[in-house]
Amino acid sequence: MEDSINKPWRTMPAKRMSQDQATGLMYLFYALAVYTSSRVGGLGQCLTLIFLGYWYNIGGGGDTSSVVRNFINGLGFICYTSGALQLELSPSEWQLFIDPNEVGLQWLGIIGAIVFTTVQLQDFYDQAGDSARDRKTLPLVIGDKPARYITAACMVIWGLFTPWYWGFASGGMSFAVLRGFAMYLAALAWIISVRILIFRSVRADRLTFVLWNVWLVSQYALPLCAKLSQTRPGKAC
C-alpha cells in the first residue's frame, strides 16, 4: 500500500510484476544466496539476513515498532559488513578480527549502533505512505519535530565519535591521527544534521538520506585511515 504512495515507480506498484512473481523470484534468490554462501563463505550472515528479512517484511518487524524496525536494520548492516570482511580476510585474519580483545567486534557493534540510531532518516520522506499503512516509524510515533532533533543530535555525536575511536585504536588520543578524514566526516554529519532540522520537504529529505548514505559508506574507510596513520606517523589520511 505504502509504495503506491511513497515509491510508485517500484516494480510492483507500477504493475510490472505480480505479487506471486515477486515471491517466486525472492525464494529463487534466497536459494542462490544460500548456495553461493555455502561455497565461498558468509553462510551464517546469509542465513541471518534471510531471517531478518522475514522478520521485517512478513513478521511485522518493520511495521509494529520503530525500535524493532531500527534494530533489524542495525543487525542487517552488521551482517553485510561482517560477511564482506569474512570473504576478504584469510581464516586466521578473520579469527583475529572477531577476537573479543580486538577492535573488530567493537567496530561491528558501532556500525550497528550508528544505523540503529540514525536509519530513521529514510522514514522522514515516507511519512504519507507509512501513515496510510499504520507503520510505526519514529517520526510517526513521537512526532516529526522530536524525531528530527533526536536524529540530528545522534548525527553530531557519531560524526565526532567514530574518528576519535579510530584515533584512539591506532594509538592516538585526538583527531590529529585522522585529522583530514575526521574533518570530512564531522562536517558531513553537521551538514546532515542542519538539513534534517531546516529543510523538511519530501524532496529535501530524500537528498538528506542520500547524504546519510554517503556518510555511512565513508565510515568504512576509517580502519584503513587508522592503519595508514600507524605506518606513516604524523600523516593525515
In a domain, 194, yes or no: yes
Structural domain contains residue 187 = yes
Give the C-alpha separation, 220 to 128, whole Å: 33
Whether 237 is in a domain gets the answer no
Q: Judge whether 102 lies within some domain.
A: yes
Instruction: Indicate whether 225 belongs to any domain.
Output: yes
Q: Quick one: pLDDT at residue 173?
A: 43
Question: Of the candidates 78, 189, 196, which has an alpha carbon nearest to the alpha carbon of residue 138?
Answer: 196
Cell triple for 87: 570473504
Q: Does 236 reside within a domain?
A: no
Distance, first Cα to last Cα, the chain: 46
What's the number of domains the chain is made of? 1
Q: What angle do CA 28, 29, 32 make, to 5 degrees?
A: 90
pLDDT in tens, the chain (237 residues): 555 555 665 676 666 777 778 788 888 999 999 999 999 989 999 999 999 999 998 898 989 999 999 999 999 999 999 999 999 888 888 888 888 888 889 999 999 999 999 999 999 999 988 888 889 999 999 999 999 999 999 999 999 999 888 876 555 544 554 677 888 899 999 999 999 999 999 999 999 999 999 999 999 988 877 776 664 434 444
Can you give the pLDDT at residue 2?
53
d(CA 41, CA 33): 11
128, 6 Cβ separation under 8 angstroms: yes
Domain of residue 16: give its range: 2-231
